[in-house]
Structure 1
Amino acid sequence: MTELAEQSRATNLPQVDAILRRGQVRTLEDFAALISPAASERVEQLAGHSQRLTQRFFGKAVRLFAPMYLSNECVNVCKYCGFSRHNDIPRITIPVTKVVEQAERLARQGFRSLLLVAGEHPKWVSNGYVADCIRQTLPIMPAISIELGPLETVEYAPLVDAGAEALLVYQETYYQPTYEELHTAGPKKYFAWRMDTPERGYEAGFRRLGIGALLGLHDWRYEALAVAAHAQFLLRKCWKAQVSVSLPRMRPATGGWQPNPSYGMNDRELVQTICALRMLLPHVGITISTREPPSLRDGIVPLGVTLMSAGASTEPGGYDHFDENQWKPTREQPGEQFHIADERSPSAIAAMIRSHGYEAVWKDFDQALVTAPSPALAPA
């Protein structure tokens, strides 16, 4: 990927124009050209191609979901993460009854798609606990995704059988030397173990797989190329699953870690990269989270994204401290993973999406449609 990233920086405008005239991105080399500095002069044309492809394969719709943090207990040391075990924050794991209460609060805001998130801690975030959270919230939230520490296939299978339909795992950085420098203790320090997680999840029966990189840890062009290549691999290897990608940017968090400024990606470059991803991966979902500012999220709706979080709290139990009328936190959230950038309510986000002529989709999957047991538990 380093060579492709260098090739991207060396791309000239005639090369970019040739790809745009063709209207197709056939290779990673084409994708590298479209995220080049030269291609920044053609973002409007790139966005036009991306918009047409997105409408062709996804319609004029954006799926909304809410993250719910179950626990910020974590055994890992990750230099950039608010949940890192060396950070002095209130450690919280919410009981299943509280998970259900928070799901009900989110349902009153309109949500029917829920992402359950937790730090990596075998004592507090056990398989049985997470499976119980899924089972108890499924009548309220028919579409449940999980974002946890990587597990074995046989450990994922009970979560699928409990009702989870999607597995999200972010590699954080695909550049292994940087990965090893930033993850110094705990199971997360094993690069390959994390990289192979989507395949283990697929074997367990997840019908959706989400991957991504956290931009700001290494050169963003390298990361974008690696995410694109990983998505291409999963489309071939895990061909029955729906694949989605995300490129969230670093946000301030407890611990005060600061990324190398040279790794920063501005708003225009993020839009450029999302549109280039759409041209390379026309059938893949693209997620944009509340890490991004309102102005960017508003502008990107018609251009390529298909999934969007809204009204988020990144603290376990955080929705207990939201005013349900305004959907604003009523106190500071000292146990949060990071500070969000878009604090608008779910209803405001839905209204914004509709103002673009798009539909805000609260639910596009129901567990009642799935009757077969997890393949990892099916008899041989």
Structure 2
Amino acid sequence: MERINHMEYMEGMETIPEDIMEEVIARMEAYDYDRYTEADVRRALDSNPLAPEGFAALLSPAAMPFLEDMAKRAREETRKHFGNSVYIFTPIYISNYCENHCVYCGFNCHNRIRRVKLDLDRIEAEMKAISETGLEEILILTGESPAMSDVAYIGEACKIARRYFRMVGLEIYPVNTEEYAYLHDCGADFVTVFQETYNSEKYETLHLAGRKRIFPYRFHAQERALRGGMRGVAFAALLGLDDCRKDAFATGMHAHLIQRKYPHAEISISCPRLCPIINNDRINPKDVHEAQLLQVITAYRIFLPFANITISTRERAAFRDNVIGMAATKISAGVSTGIGGHGGEEGEQGDDQFEISDRRTVDQVYDAIREKGLQPVMNEYVYV
């Protein structure tokens, strides 16, 4: 089957100026991390603020012997800008129907899994159950199927969420500016989009069909969300799909340039590693080791000191507990990546998107944060 050009927009996809994408891709392609030396790393650690060139040095192999120094600097930046607070949230998956063929994702349209879309009553039951744990922030996720989970349906989910939570985030398929504006009016505060990999050639081989195949449309999602009125946006590459150093560098640069262009925007970074998925045992989460992940997280913190950094349940509990307070400022708890998995109203449940490693409850994560001398926070924003 002939595949569509992954760099050409489909009908109905909004285009915006591509200056940021061009700069990010050019810098990533020029990034030769093997050229950095011990002296470059030391110079970067002494720099404040850290320039992109210093960020590149901290992501290089030459920085690996300096992980302890990077952790110390990251902790200093975290305490300076966030104090000892760690924010807790949970995701809720409301549908796992998907129209994309992404070879690494459990929801891909050719994977034979149990597909479920929660109706509005079940969404409310799930959200009520989550809110009873004390959480005040929710992240709404769907599979990428505008046919099965259209913007109106997601908007209704946002309206329900606003009744139970102070903060409502979205991790859905990219949409146009006016659709982000509508979802913002429905109650959404921020938008998360994983670019997956910033290597467009690798991206083309991983996304075989569907709207997600269009690389530039996905790249510009955060900018369209901000134009639509969203208060904040989150960025991530799925580390392990391609060269993780280059993808981490591109992610940081993307966030940095958006922050510079939209100084009012609240910026967040996620640091997910590839995880095993249902019906595919070839997905290997050990392609990026924990030491390298720690390097990426601490480099993000030093380069983007004001950004929230999220550590997800893809990682072991011990690793997550180690990085909160050091560099990560947001942590998920009581997580289910399946559909209808939060103990609300009984009904059919859909299969998980990927395997998680930390299955602790909200109370258990809360207690773990307190044991580290940190302050668990359920809400990072107050409306007046």
RMSD of the TM alignment (CA)?
A: 2.0
Question: Residues 164 and 349 of structure 1: is their aligned pair in 2 closer, same or farther, counting only changes over 3 Å?
Answer: same
Q: What does residue 374 of structure 1 align with?
A: none
Distance in 1, matches of 2:271 and 2:281, equals 19
Distance in 2 (alpha carbons) for counterparts of 1:243 and 1:234: 8
Higher deviation after alignment, 36-45 or 193-202: 36-45
State yes or no: 1:344 paired with 2:368: no
Deviations 1:36-69 (A, max 9, x none): 2221111111111110111111111111111000
What residue is the counterpart of 2:146 in the other structure?
Answer: 122
Which residue of the partner structure matches residue 31 of structure 1?
55
Letter paired with 2:367: A
Give the corresponding residue for 1:302: 325
For 2:70 and 2:317, how far apart are their aligned partners in 1? 22
**CA–CA separation in structure 1 for the residues paired with 2:233 and 2:314:** 20
Q: In 2, Cα distance between the equivalents of 1:71 and 1:15?
A: 47
Contact 1:80 1:258 in 2 (8 A): no
Whole-angstrom CA distance in 2 between matches of 1:257 and 1:173:
21
In structure 2, the partner of 1:222 is 246
Partner of 2:10: none
Pairing partner for 2:307 from 284, 289, 311: 284
Q: TM-score, normalised by structure 2?
A: 0.89
Deviation at 1:9, TM superposition (A): 2.4
Q: Deviations over 1:118-175 (max 9, x none)?
A: 0111222111111111112212111100011010111111110111101111101110
Q: TM-score, normalised by structure 1?
A: 0.90
| 1:16 equivalent among 38, 41, 53 | 41
Listed one character per residue, the Cα deviations across residues 287-335 of structure 1 (whole Å, up to 9, x for unaligned) are 110011111101111211111111110111111389xxxxxxx9x9761
- Structure 2 Cα separation of the partners of residues 95 and 259 of structure 1: 32
Deviations 1:249-298 (A, max 9, x none): 0111024163589x922111111111111111111111110011111101
- Tell me whether 143-152 or 116-125 shows the greater mean CA deviation: 116-125
**Pairing 1:94-133 to 2, within 5 Å after superposition:** 94-133=118-157
Kindly report which structure 2 residues correspond to 1:56-75, keeping only aligned pairs within 5 A, or say none. Answer: 56-75=80-99
* Unaligned stretches of 5+ residues in structure 2: 1-26
Contact 1:75 1:84 in 2 (8 A): yes
- Tell whether 2:373 aligns with 1:357: yes
Counterpart of 1:40 in structure 2 is: 64
The residue number in structure 2 matching 1:326 is none
Rounded to whole Å, the distance in 1 between the matches of 2:190 and 2:65 is 37
Structure 1 equivalent of residue 167 of structure 2: 143
Please report how far the alpha carbon of residue 235 of structure 1 lies from its aligned counterpart in structure 2 after TM superposition. Answer: 0.3
Match of 2:114 among 83, 90, 93: 90
> Cα deviation per residue 1:187-229 (whole Å; 9 max; x = unaligned)?
0000000001111100110001011100111000010100011
The 2-side partners of 1:340 and 1:260 are apart by: 13
Q: Which residue of 2 aligns with 1:376?
A: none
CA distance in 2, matches of 1:359, 1:254: 36
1:25·1:31 contact (CA, 8 Å) conserved in 2? Answer: no
Q: Which residue pairs with 1:271 in the alignment?
A: 294
What residue is the counterpart of 1:312 in the other structure? 335
Q: Deviations over 1:73-129 (max 9, x none)?
A: 011110000000000001100011111111111111111100000011122211111
Tell me the CA shift for residue 346 of structure 1: 1.0
1:13 maps to amino acid: E
1:365 alignment partner AA: Y
Distance 1:110 1:31, change over 3 A: same
The answer to whether the Cα contact below 8 Å between 2:138 and 2:161 also exists between their aligned partners in 1 is: no
Q: How many residues are matched? A: 357
Shift >3 Å, 4+ stretches? 1-5, 257-261
Q: Percent identity?
A: 35
1:251 corresponds to which residue? 275
Structure 1 residue runs of 5 or longer lacking an equivalent are 323-329, 370-380
Shift of 1:5: 4.1
* Alpha-carbon distance in structure 2 between the residues aligned to 1:12 and 1:29: 12
Aligned partners of 2:187 and 2:145: how far apart in 1? 22
SS at match of 1:139: helix
Give the counterpart letter for 1:120 in structure 2.
E
Answering whether residue 185 of structure 2 is matched by residue 161 of structure 1, we say: yes
Distance 2:129 2:232 in 1: 25
